[in-house]
Chain A
Amino acid sequence: MGVANTNHAPLLYEALRLAAMRRAERLSRCRPPAVKRGRSVRPPAARRSGVCSRRCWHGAAGMFLRLLADVRWRGADPKWRSVACCRGASGTAESQPVPLPAQAQVVICGGGITGTSVAYHLAKLGWKDVVLLEQGRLAAGTTRFCAGIVSTARPVSIELKMADYSNKLYQQLEQETGVQTGYVKTGSVSLAQTQDRLISLKRIASSLNVSGIPCEIISPKQVAQLHPLINIHDLVGAMYVPEDALVLSANVSLALATAASRNGVQIHERTSVSHVSVQKGRVTGVETDRGHIKCQYFVNCAGQWAYELGHSGEEPVNIPLHACEHFYLLTHPLKEPLASNVPTVVDPDGRIYIRNWQGGILSGGFEKNPKPLFTEGRNQLEIHNLQEDWDHFEPLLSSLLRRMPNLEALQIMQLVNCPESFTPDMRCIMGESPTVRGYFVLAGMNSAGISYGGGAGKYLAEWMVNGYPSENVWPLDLKRFGTLQSSRTFLRHRVMEVMPLMCDLKVPRWDFQTGRQLRTSPLYDRLDAQGARWMEKHGFERVKYFVPPGKDLLDLDQSKTFYKPDWFDIVGSEVKCCKEAVCVIDMSSFTKFEISSTGDQALQSLQYLFSNDLDVPVGHVVHTGMLNENGGYENDCSIARLSKRSFFMISPTDQQVHCWAWLKNHLPEDSNLTIEDVTWKYTALNLIGPRAVDVLSELSYAPMTPEHFPSFFCKEMSVGYANGIRVMSITHTGEPGFMLYIPIEYALHVYNEVMNMGQKYGIRNAGYYALRSLRIEKFFAFWGQDLDAFTTPMECGREFQVKLEKGMDFIGQEALLEQKQNGVYKRFTMFILEDHDTDMDLWPWWGEPIFRNGRYVGKTTSSAYSYTLERHVCLGFVQHFDEKTGEELVVTTDFINQGEYEIDIAGQRFQAKAKLYPFSSLFAQRRRKDEVELSGYQRE
């Protein structure tokens, strides 16, 4: 016990250094690949004799190996020890490793931080029949090379929660397992060179503070006191997070593995997964180079090889991620070595991070011109053979010397090249495959594997064991992507944009520039020629707004600001046109399904899946949630009953994969029941405004007034020459008007007819920004932003969309009944900002803390400027925490109404008026209460 315990941290680094220095001789020949395509990707010699492995591990990385062996010797479970001992320090006996089990409940592929974390948490939750397979050695991939910074300073709340949990987990891990994790609480300082950067730091600080993570905004002078080397002359401020920490990343992973192993998880190194066997859409087993393992669950934690592994089976699982080279620098100790607790410095404007490393520094960054690699996917052997590229690192080195000029005389030890995997939206990927049940994924950490690893592993383990994690992880769900993100070309281009983003300023309404114009409406060129400015959702191009002729376009494209954007007046005039005349918005991106059956199977099964009553007369449109067992929204959609036996379902754009998987999993296996994705078949035009009636009736020679065409009605009719247009009297905004679902070959015709006919009514094009303003001012919640799997209809004022007595059971019914009796613990509320100056003050975005009588009660989920109210409107959830215990209490209407509210925007609080119901004056037509259309799909 405890051999080499005291000094193994330096040893590890020494080994790391040696290992990287001799990558060429070591790994180009010897490393077994992560994913085996065919039968013999690994050099046959290595597999047969093991000579190769002996040579490599006892050559350059011998010290590291011994170290791993030491760690393993202590307290490891007997099975594991036998594996360890056979390639232990002596290295002479190349005995056979322990055979793989024939079956297991769960097989995890990948022994990095994510794989070990999932194993650890599964074991904690009681799933012990788990096998973890690692192609090489535990924690020998990106995990070993990464910089080991645990940072909670994350702008988005789910990531923040994961990082916070990871931090707390690692802190006690050494005590729990006895494995030295090198955990040092150093704190971190994020520097701001510009006012905009400071604003973004302040926003993060607000968010951290209400999450219970200590954090403060400090002046440049205070920065100088925290760190002796920093040049503060170009700083305007900084954020200090004292709880952030440093760890030895490989050791954290080993500690998690040790704990998991003690809890019964079997760990097998040097075992490559070739593919996953699937039968009837379920995982049945795993094929490895050492035999087959039957299993019910498979977890792909293969890091940058997850994409390839996902595509290796007959039933491909698309995991969109791509590796980029990532460089950091190690130096010898300073003359006066840095104290071990000196805070980690993050200089996003300089694109670098700097941490203490054995009295010297470790500094890396995210350059503007990243080098993607492994696009062909064949070069797995080369991961440890990557070159140091000093020329590429030069801008970051310049930046480092600008930040710490006194380092000039510091001696270089090494430049480490550690590939990291990045995803198309800079957020990690977790969850179950939409196509293969029992196939789980946790990968694509975007260079924050250590920060997120603990929390992400916990959520995924909960997901597997309980069916859903304890937090809303939709933004990280694998199902947010479709096959359209699986192109290697797309991924390569996109990650080159994503990696620099790590350091770029995250301003509201930011759009990716690469991988665009993939899915477009047939009207794309027409709209583009009329000045459309585009954003992308799920690969689909959607119009933000239309730049009027004569406006300076260049300025508009650069409208990235935390303040009032320069499209303000443009969108204002579009909104005005929607209110007074008529506007056309192309909304073709909506996900559209058709569900039909020979008998009444369609109705029966949809009644079970949806909370509203779908047994309505043909031609009616029902707005309803698709709920989970807890009554939370899995989807929020409009369903039109086309005939007795068929339904047309409209869902948000990014529901295409998720909703399809949900329907597939919950609809009965019945050949008489068909479900079809018709998204691509229809172009959707939204005619919004009081004159939409006139335009449409002139084009169809049919009366369209509310008497003849009441709201929430759907009819197939002709428009212009085109027949078979599905016209629905909804606009998703609460404004009068119609949605037209047009078979795509008629799209251009109908659009032209509408625009020609509409001319005399003052028709114009409009975009999603106008739509959003119109919806938010009417208190419409959006799925994906306001609504998620943890929000029930009861909590957002949609009881009327739930028919508890519709005569048959539906998913989530019990939970809703209980809520109805006991009350809700959070309540969706609208806030009107009172003392906010639209021109001068920072604009709200989302994620701003809400304070009631000075106490934190929740966060906003979306916001928009209402041109009608001439005020900002924020939507968000209010909770009720007991003042003494912090326990969550029931939120009543009185609780909401009897409070003074403030919204915190980047540290500045604005008074806000809370409302539980929308302003009825905003609705142009008076409607029956149950007809009030409450819908909305978009996230900005």
Chain B
Amino acid sequence: MPAPTHLFPLIRNCEISRICSTMCYCHHKHLCCLSSHFAHGHFRYAPQKKFAALYRPKENFYQFIHARDYASTPQRFYLTPPQVNSILKANEYSFKVPEFDGKNVSSILGFDSNQLPANAPIEDRRSAATCLQTRGMLLGVFDGHAGCACAQAVSERLFYYIAVSLLPHETLLEIENAVESGRALLPILQWHKHPNDYFSKEASKLYFNSLRTYWQELIDLNSGETTDVKEALINAFKRLDNDISLEAQVGDPNSFLNYLVLRVAFSGATACVAHVDGVDLHVANTGDSRAMLGVQEEDGSWSAVNLSYDHNAQNEREVERVKAEHPKSEEKSLVKQDRLLGLLMPFRAFGDVKFKWSIELQKRVVESGPDQLNDNEYTKFIPPNYHTPPYLTAEPEVIHHKLRPQDKFLVLATDGLWETMHRQDVARIVGEYLTGVHHQQPIAVGGYKVTLGQMHGLLTERRAKISSVFEDQNAATHLIRHAVGNNEFGAVDHERLSKMLSLPEELARMYRDDITIIVVQFNSHVIGMLHCITCSSAALTSKTQVLSEIPVPGD
């Protein structure tokens, strides 16, 4: 497999047209590889490629703008709109909260999610589930690096850890007793999955045992206190990361599983998870995915409120934290080129034991591990200036927000989206999509002198523009369409969209990152009612404080 970076000279030499011309058939393969590669146990764990993936696409981004200029010259091999749609919609999923007696009593109306791969296979994962033994709904996006194994494991397991952390003591006992006596378990989560979102069958037993150990410990630790959501989220994150690490150290007699747990531990994943229960919204974030709240102002316009902090070099507090955790001597080597130890872009992540284990432990595990692992240059490679591990943690930062009637939706997305779009644009595009205001701005004649002919021309033009909107039944798809296809005027340009989607898989990663989006739509009626109840008294003031407490990173 060629290292993608080497391809750039090729592109510079105007070879893009040749490459593009092969793309029409390419995208089918592109789609298949999302699921089939993995499902068939065929992994491509090429170290060069993984390194490339680690160098997250800051520089790629500029090159990609360059390359775009080239690509837009004489190229004529475009995907047709239906082809574009079939690519964009291949992974879309919508869930509507069921109604009882014609009424939806949940604060969530439903959610739309979608992902667009750039890596092959895609390294992003998403999860959504309703807690059955406690109230609330969990939604999360997971951005894997150095392979998708860790993201996959976290997407399968994290919600169970959170749900278990939230369970009251009696329920935990009940579950444990059921397992003990071989009775049927109470279902804990109801998953809302796209057919392409799969769970690993082989590891389920292993995962279950780890989870069981966790709840047994929780039972033993029973403090008798009611569970705080924030605490539960933090505990679940930390515990899962710990289990991932332990499983890799212990190994498994089954060679396939043994290899799997090692790949999980040596790859990494960020996680951004929202827990919504009534008006209480908690966002737990580890890494550089982002949660954003769409707020409709009184004048109908849309604004964005960040509900997470990016854990990367752009976040000064995060840099300070990392520096404080290590001796002063390492200060210079800790963050280089905006990366942790000059390698890793996110400053917090699951897995990535290369940044957590001691050198001895890493060597021991790699040597005793299977041959594939041993042959792997990446796993053997020890980060430079590796003196005082761990350098990385999976502990999330949790933000609590009390939902208000003007909070219309929540967007959870991996950095693939945020690299290409400003959150303000995201809020506007999703907001207008959800409220059905598809037109950029309604035309008003007002006092202007407009003739019928001029108006007709204007309307015909607008109609061509907005036709893309009606193709999407899914807010996440609509957002991806904009993220990938927006031209400099903020309108979807089919030509550009078509080009971006027809990139061959080995090129795609340089022009864009994997994008995974979940758009949760809130039920303003219910929130309005709950809001009145909870905020009627003195709580009114504290509510405003909560919001003002949240600084907007990167503003």
Contacts and interface: CB of A to CB of B under 8 A. Distances in A.
Interface of A: 21, 329, 331, 387-391, 393-394, 397-398, 400-401, 407-415
B445 A415 contact: yes
Given A388-B445, A390-B443, A391-B439, A412 B456 contact: no
Interface in B24-44: none
A925 B445 CA distance: 75
A401 B443 contact: no
Nearest to B466: A391
A898 B450 CA distance: 67
Nearest to B448: A412
Contact of B455 (A387, A389, A390): A390
B450 A411 contact: yes
B468 to A, nearest CB: 14
Nearest to B440: A391
B255 interface: no
Interface in B91-144: none
B460 interface: yes
Nearest to A394: B459
| Best-surrounded residue of B450, B458, B459 (most CB of chain A within 10 A) | B459
A407 B462 CA distance: 21
Contacts of B449: 411
Interface string B157-179: 00000000000000000000000
A818 B459 CA distance: 68
B442 interface: yes
List 9 tightest A-B contacts by C-beta distance, closest first. A408-B453, A394-B459, A390-B443, A412-B450, A410-B452, A407-B452, A409-B451, A412-B445, A391-B439
Nearest to A408: B453
B271 to A, nearest CB: 40
Contacts, number: 60
Nearest to A400: B452
Contacts of B455: 390, 397, 412
A410 B442 contact: no
B515 to A, nearest CB: 29
Contacts of B460: 394, 398
B442 A390 contact: yes
Contacts of A393: 459
Contacts of A409: 451-453
A394 B463 contact: yes
B444 interface: yes
A412 B445 CA distance: 8
A412 B455 CA distance: 9
- The CB with the most chain B CB atoms within 10 A, among A400, A407, A408, A410, is that of A408
Given A388-B442, A390-B442, A391-B443, A412 B452 contact: yes
Contacts of A329: 452
Interface string B203-236: 0000000000000000000000000000000000
7 contacts: A387-B442, A388-B442, A388-B443, A391-B463, A398-B456, A408-B452, A412-B455
**What class of interface size applies to chain B in its complex with A?**
10 to 19
A390 B460 CA distance: 11
Contacts of B439: 391
A387 B445 CA distance: 11
A389 B439 CA distance: 10
A631 to B, nearest CB: 49
Given A390-B443, A391-B443, A414-B445, A397 B459 contact: yes
Contacts of B466: 391
A55 B176 CA distance: 70
Given A391-B462, A408-B451, A412-B455, 16 more contacts: A387-B442, A389-B442, A390-B459, A391-B439, A391-B463, A393-B459, A394-B459, A394-B460, A394-B462, A401-B453, A401-B456, A408-B456, A410-B451, A411-B450, A412-B445, A412-B451
A407 to B, nearest CB: 5
B436 to A, nearest CB: 11
Contacts of B445: 388, 412-415
B354 to A, nearest CB: 55
A393 to B, nearest CB: 8
Interface string B455-486: 11011101100100000000000000000000
B171 to A, nearest CB: 40
A331 B450 CA distance: 10
Contacts of A401: 452-453, 456
A565 B449 CA distance: 52
Contacts of B459: 390-391, 393-394, 397
Contacts of A400: 452
By CB atoms of chain B within 10 A, which of A393, A397, A413 has the most?
A: A397
B156 to A, nearest CB: 41
A331, A391, A400, A409: residue with the most chain B Cβ atoms closer than 10 Å: A391
A600 B451 CA distance: 78
A414 B452 CA distance: 11
B451 A411 contact: yes
Contacts of A411: 449-452
Interface string B427-450: 000000000000100111110011
A716 to B, nearest CB: 41
Contacts of A389: 442
Contacts of B446: 21
Contacts of A415: 445
Nearest to A389: B442
A400 B445 CA distance: 18
A335 to B, nearest CB: 12
A398 B444 CA distance: 18
A511 B455 CA distance: 37
Nearest to A401: B456
B444 A397 contact: no
Nearest to A329: B452
B208 to A, nearest CB: 46
A25 B458 CA distance: 27
A650 B455 CA distance: 59
Nearest to B457: A408
A291 to B, nearest CB: 33
A135 B455 CA distance: 37
A389 B446 CA distance: 13
Contacts of A407: 452-453
Considering residues B439, B443, B450, B455, which has the most beta carbons from chain A within 10 angstroms of its beta carbon? B455
A409 B456 CA distance: 11
Nearest to B442: A387
Contacts of B444: 388
A58 B460 CA distance: 39
A657 to B, nearest CB: 26
A397 B451 CA distance: 12
B272 to A, nearest CB: 36
B547 to A, nearest CB: 28
Contacts of A394: 456, 459-460, 462-463
A189 B43 CA distance: 74
A407 B455 CA distance: 12
A363 B451 CA distance: 14
A397 B443 contact: no
A289 B466 CA distance: 46
A388 B445 CA distance: 9
Contacts of B450: 411-412
B431 to A, nearest CB: 17
Nearest to B444: A388
B190 to A, nearest CB: 29
B463 A397 contact: no
Nearest to B438: A391
Nearest to A361: B452
Best-buried of A21, A398, A411 by chain B (most CB within 10 Å): A411
A51 B83 CA distance: 60
Among B450, B456, B462, B466, which residue has the most Cβ atoms of chain A within 10 A? B456
A563 B458 CA distance: 43
A410 B449 CA distance: 10
Contacts of B442: 387-391
B462 A397 contact: no
Nearest to B455: A412
Interface in B332-374: none
